[in-house]
Every structure is written in C-alpha cells, then in structure tokens.
Structure 1
Amino acid sequence: MAKQNGSATDSIVVVQAKTTGPREAADEIARQLAAIELAMLVVFVSPFYDPQQFIAELSGRMPDIPIFGCTTAGELSPGGWEEDSVVAMGFDAADFVIAARPLFDLSTFRVDHGRSICTELQSEFAQRTEHCDHTDDSFGLLFIDGMCQREETIMSAIYASLGDIPVVGGSAGDGLRFEKSWVFHGGEAHTDAAVLILIRTRLPFRLFKCDHFEPTSTKMVVTEADIEHRIVKELNAEPAALEYSRAVGLSDSKLELFSFAAHPVLVRVGGAYYARSIQRTNPDGSLQFFCAIDEGMVLTVARERDPIDVTSRLLKELTEDLGEVSMFIGFECVLRRLDVEQRQLSREMSELYRRNKVIGFQTYGEQYRSMHVNQTLTGIAIGKRAVAPQ
C-alpha cells in the first residue's frame, strides 16, 4: 500500500509506502515518482525494513536520482504519526538545487577533516548556484547515525564552515532498540556516518525549533562524568540516578525511558534553554545521556507545558509569517513522542501534524543551527511557489 500527498506540480511530493518488504516499498515509491524530474529524493525508513536491501532496491529503480535519508524511530507521514513504513520526499528540480557530501568514520572524526569536507561541498554548491549572488535562499539538512555520539563535534565543524547557511536535521533511529541506525548515500546504507545536503530554493522558508518545557529553580551540577561516552556519574557530588530522582520527585527504582521523557533537564546556552535527555540508568547508578555533557555543567530541572498548545502556536506563527506553508519538514525526538503518548495526547498531536503537513521522522536527537538537542521538534517550513501570471 502506498499513499501520495500532492501532485506533480508540487515543489515537494510526498509518498508513503507501508508494505510487507523492502522490495515492494521500493517499487511503490519509484512508481509514484517516476514522472517527476527530481533534484533529489529523501527517504525515512522504519527499521522494520532491511535498510541495506531497501536502498539498493530503490537506487536500482531510480539510478539517476540522488537519494538520501536514514532509518527512524517512527515516521511523520501525510497521515500523521506512523510506524513500520517508508516516507519519501521528492524535491522538484524546478525549485531546488542540491549538493551533498557523506562523512564517514565518525568514531574517529576530526573537526579539521570535517571543515575540509564542508569547504569542498560549499565550493561545489557555489558552482551549481553561481547565478545566485546571495546565500539567504539556502539551507542544509543533516542526517547522522544516531548511535555515533559525535553529533556535537560534527555540528561544530559544519557551523564553522558554512557561514550563513543554516542547518537542521536529525539523528537516525532504530525504533526503541538503540542498537544500530543507518544513513543513506550513494545507493548504500552506512553506519558511523552522516550526510550533509546543501539546498538552494526560490521558495520562502523558515527554520524552527519547538519544545514544551520551561526551567524551574531546581539546579544540579555535574560533578563527575565520562565525557567521551556521555555518562554522568555524579550530580551535586551524589550518585547521579539517586540525585536526579530526588530533584524531579521520582523513585530511583522506577526510572525508565518514560520517566526520562517526562522529566528532561535543561542547559542554558546563549540565554536560551535546551533539553538534555537521559537514555537510561546504568547498573552502577550513573546516567547515560543522548547529548554531550561536561563536568561543571549546570542542569536545570524542567517543567512541562501543554505540548499540543505549544506546537500548534508555533505552526500557526510560521504559517502566518510565510503566508502559506506547503510543508513542514520535521525532526522529532522519540522521547517527545513517548512523553506525548504517556499524556494520552497521541491522537491530537498526530492530527495536528496531519492537518499541517508535518513530514519527517522521529529521531535519537535533533540538529538546529549549531546545536544538537533532544526532546524537541526541529525543522524547516517551506512556503509555496508564487503562481506566475497567465
């Protein structure tokens, strides 16, 4: 079964496939996009499908189209929240020009090497868009292995290299297994890798970031940590899990993924607060984080706001700003989804996304400009093409 959202005249055509296997999913997507001249195809693939087989099948059917994307912890589809499916976005060549580079071996990634790759990419991008004398009509998408624990280093390299081109994106997921995630480039599925895509468009757009937390007065200081592996061993000179439980009002014996989803901590950067989500409690009582941490870092306990109201307001503001939105390309933390599910608001959030055409995937972390964040919806709102006079 496949669903299509839009027509061949749309700037971005969305196709969703929900089939028994990767070959059938590739067939459905390729068939429905065959008549459109595409600048690129972006696919978000549930781990229900074998990622290597899927991308090989799809690339074989669409050999002349650059295909990028990643595996997910859930899909944001034309019908709202989805699982066990493939969501594909075809970018019309009439409205988009792209250039892309993969980044491999992230476990040994060096910032200087990343800057070199970004410089090469920017040079190619400039050649492809040389008829345009400004960069404020360009943005970047980044898809990165969600198990690599290197997002901050990579974002630092990219941010320092791309000048005025802003970047958003997501860390690839693996459902709720947290074992192996994949990104797609060159007709293959890669781990320990990322892909950066620079995009120029004549359409109006706005980057966005949305979360539903606000800071409280309760603070904790990271007093001992394994920085390389994002593990906090002590908070306020106490065992980390014990002190976190006390600060948020939970029993440490009940700490689980749903607990962390409902009680993230925040860090303050440049006057704004960003969520730092916890993945799990380790047997020694330490806490495994999804984002980089450091000794001396001050963590602020968060208070929840209504996620439906906050998200609805943001989407409305973006729509009013752009005049009309053809699509919100979204990257949503899987912990945000779990928190909404726990509050029994899944149907309302899914309907809000369906109504506003929020298309993308659920992540193990989100990229926004220079930051890697958690428990957030980041993305880019794409406006509509002005209709030429007849």
Structure 2
Amino acid sequence: MRAKKIRETRDLRTSETRADRLEGVVVVSASAENAEAAARDIAALLRNRLADKGETPETALAGLICFVCASYDTATFAAEIHSCLPDIPIYGCTTAGELTLSGWASNSVVAIGFLRQNFTIVAHMLEQLSHFGVEEGRAAAAEARAALMAKIPESDTNQCFGMLLIDGMCRREEAVISALYSAFDDIPVIGGSAGDSMSFEKTWMIRDGAIHRDAALLLLFHTDIPFSTFKSDYFEPTSHKMVVTEADIEQRVVRELNAEPAAQEYARQVGLIESSLDAASFASHPVLVGVGGQYYARSIQKVNADGSLSFFCAIDEGLVLTVAKSLDPYASTLATFERMEAELGAVSLYIGFDCVLRRLAAERSQIAHRLSDLYRAHRVVGFNTYGEQYRSMHVNQTFTGIALGYRDDKERPS
C-alpha cells in the first residue's frame, strides 16, 4: 500500500512541474450564474489569453468547441457566445459534467480553442437522426473527408482525426458511428454522447449561434501536432452470464434476462437487492458484451416501473451479457496516461470523453477526489458523457479521447 501511495504522489508531482504551455490549443473554463454571463466570461478569457501572445480569437482560432452544463439555457449560451465571437466557427454540446484543467466540474463551461497555425477543421451537421440512413451517413462522411483533403497536403492524411458529438438521447449512436467510420479509411474517430445532468430528457448540439436536437456534429481535424487516440476502462469479465430473452430493441429496453424479469435477474446476478437499484448501482456493476475477443461495457440507464431495464447502448434479443468485475479505476486510468506518454513523449493535453457512470462510481467508492486530481495533473479537458465513441464502436462506462503531444523534442517541456 505504501509503495502504491509513493507512486501516486510521484506521478502527480511530475505532472505538476510541467510547463503550463499547451501546444496548439487554448483552454478556458467559466462558472457563472447564468448562460449569458458564462458565454461572456469564456469570450473574455479567450481574448485575454490570446492577447498575451499578441493575437485575437479572430486571427488565431480555426474553431472553438464548448462543452456546456445542462443547467444553463443552451440557446442563450449559443446565441451569446456567437454574438461575442461572430467570426469564429463554434461547436459544442451539453454535458453530464465537465472536465476542466482543474479537474471534474459541474455547472460550468469548458472551451477549447484550436489555433489556426496548427489545425484545419471541417464540420458537418447530421440532423433528423431518428430517420438516419446508413447510405446517408456514408455520403456525409465522404463529403466531409473530401472537404478536409482539399485543404491539406495529400501526404498529410495520417495527420487527421475525427470527433463525433451526438445527441445522447437519440438511440442511434451505433448506426451513426458505424456508417461514418466506414467512409474514413484510416482516420481514427473519438467522441461522446451529449448529456443533460442525468435528467435523460433533452440534450443539445451547438453550432455557431444555433442549437439542435436529434442531431450529431462530425468534426474532422488536420494537425501538425503528434496525437494518439485512447480508450480506457477498468472491468474484466466474470463467469456470470445473462441472455436477453425479451426486449424492445428500438427503445433499448430489456424486459427479460434469462427468461426472468430483467431488474430482478440483474440484481440477483450482481448480488444486490432489486429495490436498491439506482444509477450508482449500475455504475458499480456494469455488464459486458464480447466482440471480436474483446469486452465492451453495456451500461444500464435506469429501472422502469414495470421492472424492465433501459440501456445506454444498443441491445438485442439473444444478446449474451457478462457480469463485470471491477478493477482499480485509478491504476487503470494512470496506466492509460503512462501508455500515451510512452507513445508520444510529453503530452500537452488530453481531450477526453468520460462516461458519467465512471464519475458516479468514483463518488460512490469515495475516490472521486483522487481521480479528479489525476485528471488535473495530466491536463484532461472534455465532458462526462452518456456514451463514448471509439473508432467504429459506441461504448459505455469508458474513458476515450485524444492525446495531443508536442511538435518536436525542443518544444517539449522537461
């Protein structure tokens, strides 16, 4: 135990001594009493930060991404930030919690500005996801890819990545990411499903001064900064299995597991009392699906009045669910950071999409402060999601994202 504590302290100390400079991006966050004030604060902070470099947001930024808490009026925020920064492409979505340079946050906005000298960005909005078609998705992805390729040297295609922000209540994530990814060839994609602070009612996409529901934002980036995508979780399969024997596939509702009422059988399998099931229970006891020799979490959203279970991810009758065993969340997350740093060298910034159930589980097990400190030490920004995108997969209870390095050794802080 003492050796583990020493390692943890050393890791945090090492990260804290790194230079404050970020490579290719400007990150600010604000927490104000209302959406209008938060938007103005974000714009003012960006102007102040860029003024130190002799720049303005208009001259410096290729685009701005805002992750906005659901307690703010999203339409007001979108209109005000666009009014403050009318000449900058602005994208974003609502959250179930924010990841700032100070760690986990709530009731705030975190904004990431991408410098024009390091990034080229192309955006495509997908609307009416309830009527989404695979061919439509492939065509949209091909169009966005072609638009990006027209702006960059042909030899630089390996310096591109995608980000998908999608309505967290659309229930179409799997179809969308699968269709888009098939048109991207070797361009990796990461992203997250928008949240609404666990209300499960409405989530919003932001593009410039407008907001959208039943929609997704596809962003394609080209950069001269080294990067790598990542995926991290902390579960392993057990021998306990459950088969989905009755389900409403469109609504992602499981009515029966092993031919028994779903909530009752789930509680029995994980060793809980059915009446005690809540979001924290599901965060601590996810189920897994095996795909291609690997296991991915399929998290439960809630228990319904009839004893059925609503899921965050797609389900189907006949699907085999495996009860998961939790590993050490801190150790597994730290191992992800160490792996990225072994690959890239020093990491300037992690843009992360962190499932809200990971945060709930950390709070329940009283390690939220430690994990938040770890995120702060490694400079993670992003938001808590209702689901995560990683390459061609939509997953749950996972931490995905992109690590941005430094352009050359001379520019890396010691």
DSSP 3-state at the match of 2:169:
coil
**How many Å apart are 1:238 and its aligned residue?**
1.2
Paired-residue identity, %? 54
Which runs of 5 or more residues in structure 1 are unaligned?
none
Query: Number of residues paired by the alignment?
Result: 383
Is this contact kept in 2: 1:277–1:375, CA < 8 A? Answer: yes
Asked if residue 16 in structure 1 is aligned to residue 29 in structure 2, the reply is yes
Secondary structure at the counterpart of residue 102 of structure 1: strand
Match of 1:115 among 115, 135, 138: 138
Say whether 1:216 aligns with 2:245: no
Matches of 2:280 and 2:247 in 1, distance apart?
23
> Does 2:162 align with 1:162?
no
Name the SS for the 1:332 alignment partner: strand
Q: Do the aligned partners of 1:6 and 1:13 also contact (CA within 8 Å) in 2?
A: no
- Secondary structure of the structure 2 residue equivalent to 1:170: strand
Instruction: Return structure 1 stretches of 4+ with deviation > 6 angstroms.
Output: none
What are the Cα deviations for residues 329-367 of structure 1, in whole angstroms up to 9, with x where unaligned? Answer: 000011110001000001100000000001000001100
Where structure 2 has 5 or more consecutive residues not aligned to the other structure, the ranges are 1-18, 48-55
Letter in 2 for 1:142: L
Q: Does 1:127 align with 2:150?
A: yes
Hey, what's the Cα distance between the residues in 1 that align with 2:335 and 2:407? 24
2:218 is the counterpart of 1:205: no
Task: State the distance in 1 between where 2:107 and 2:265 align.
Answer: 38
- Of 358, 361, 365, 1:336 maps to 358
Aligned pairs for 1:346-361 within 5 A: 346-361=368-383
Deviations 1:183-214 (A, max 9, x none): 11132111111100000111111111111111
Task: Report the equivalent of 2:16.
Answer: none
Aligned to 2:13: none
Measure how far apart 1:10 and its partner are.
Answer: 3.8
Is 1:46–2:59 an aligned residue pair? no
Aligned 1:346-385 pairs, distance under 5 A? 346-385=368-407
- How far apart in 2 are the matches of 1:38 and 1:149? 33
Normalised by the size of structure 2, how large is the TM-score? 0.90
Is the Cα contact below 8 Å between 1:11 and 1:385 reproduced in 2? no
3-state DSSP class of the match of 1:136? helix
Which shifted more, 326-335 or 15-24? Answer: 15-24
1:223-234 alignment to 2 at 5 Å?
223-234=245-256
* Whole-angstrom distance in 1 between the partners of 2:135 and 2:339: 39
Deviations 1:111-157 (A, max 9, x none): 1111111121111111111x232422110001001011110110111
Structure 2 equivalent of residue 144 of structure 1 = 166
Cα distance, 1:388 vs structure 2:
7.0
Q: Mean Cα displacement is larger for which, 186-195 or 350-359?
A: 186-195
Q: Secondary structure at the match of 2:358?
A: helix
Q: 1:72 aligns with which of 84, 95, 113?
A: 95
Say yes or no: does 1:31 pair with 2:54. no
Q: Is the 8 A contact 1:203 1:382 kept in 2?
A: yes
Q: What's the RMSD between the two structures over aligned residues?
A: 1.4
Paired amino acid for 1:346: A
CA distance in 2, matches of 1:119, 1:309: 39
1:62 aligns with 2:85: yes
Counterpart in 2 of 1:345? 367
The worse-fitting range, judged by mean Cα deviation, of 93-102 and 111-120 is 111-120
User: What secondary structure sits across from 2:244 in the alignment?
Assistant: strand
In 2, Cα distance between equivalents of 1:372 and 1:341: 24
Q: Which amino acid aligns with 1:122?
A: R
Indicate the SS of the match to 1:155: helix
Contact 2:129/2:214, CA 8 A, preserved across alignment: yes
Q: Is the 8 A contact 2:24 2:118 kept in 1?
A: yes
TM-score by length of 1: 0.96
Q: Does 1:294 align with 2:316?
A: yes
Structure 2: how far apart are the matches of 1:388 and 1:336? 37
CA distance in 2, matches of 1:326, 1:132: 26
Do the aligned partners of 1:267 and 1:273 also contact (CA within 8 Å) in 2? yes
Cα offset, 1:302, TM superposition:
0.2
> In the TM superposition, what whole-angstrom CA distance separates every residue of 1:261-285 from its partner, at most 9, and x where no partner exists?
1100000111110000001111111
